[in-house]
Amino acid sequence: MVKRICIWFAVVSALLGVVPARGAEDVFVPGRTAYLAGQFTNAARFFQGELRRAPSAEAWHNFGDAAWQAGHPGEAVLAWQRALWLNPYQTNAAASLRFVDGLGQFSELSLTWTEKYSTWLPVNLWAGLAAASLWLAVALVLLPVVFRWRKSVWPQLLAAVALGTFVLTLPALAGIHGRTKLAVIREANVPLRQTPTQTAQVRSRFAAGELVRCRSVRGKYYFVRTANDETGWVAQDQLWFIAEDELPPWPAVVVPPGSSKIN
């Protein structure tokens, strides 16, 4: 029952703006044209332009597909993760991540139950639902007293429903907080060091796009836990957090010889 309600809210959030606006096609068309022409670097650059203008789950997914085809697995996995961060029902991004997991390059990082629960709705919708339900419960309890309204069972019943809804959002908010500590390894062969120094012993090396959980920070290093429960230190400039909106660097658009632009 709870999950059905969450799916209903996800549909409402899509109608309210989780999905990209129709104007996004202005950038998606040249990006898709470049993608179909095999110009994946250019396609990714076009999709990145849309992300600068109006970040959306669809734009992140398109950028991830182009980045993967261009040979940038770290940027691709990051993009698909961010697509699901904005809209957990972005099925194309989820399918792309399942494809990467099936390649067996690295193990899948396990999520806690609260983190899994938080993926039932977009993160912004959880926050809005928590705030709205809490204030509604407070208003339904206080307003009848302040204005001396005649006692009725309906305000009390609605207050109980609102308060119950707020309680249901608390595990999701805890899960969202946990997921903000998940990060993607930028490049292949990034070292996992035993101590937070450049000369420290290397315990293992990562594959590009591997997901880690950051526990703490010291200087220019994060203490992380891998999917295999291995711990160590990784340089900060080798990680992208999935909850942030920083765009990965990307080469400029390359104009093919003999053509002025991609239409």
The domain segmentation of the chain, as residue ranges, is: 2-102, 113-179, 182-241
CA-to-CA dists, residue 99 to 62, 94, 105, 189, 243, angstroms: 15, 9, 11, 21, 22
| CATH class entry, domain 182-241 | mainly beta
State the Cα–Cα distance between residues 197 and 216, nearest whole angstrom: 15
Q: Name residue, tokens 């940027």.
A: 75
Mean pLDDT of the chain: 85
Inform me whether the pLDDT recorded for 64 exceeds 80: yes
Q: Confidence band (pLDDT; 50, 70, 90) for 262? A: very low
Pairing of strands 239-241, 231-235: unpaired
Report pTM.
Answer: 0.82
- Where residue 25 falls among pLDDT bands split at 50, 70, 90? low
Q: Would the pLDDT of 180 be above 60?
A: yes
Give the C-alpha distances (Å, rounded to integers) separating 197 from 60, 143, 238: 34, 59, 14
Q: What is the fold of 2-102?
A: 1.25.40
Q: How far apart are the first and last CA of the chain?
A: 48
Where does the pLDDT of residue 255 fall: very low under 50, low under 70, confident under 90, or very high at 90 and above? low
Q: Alpha carbon of 184 to those of 95, 172, 228: distances in Å? A: 18, 22, 15
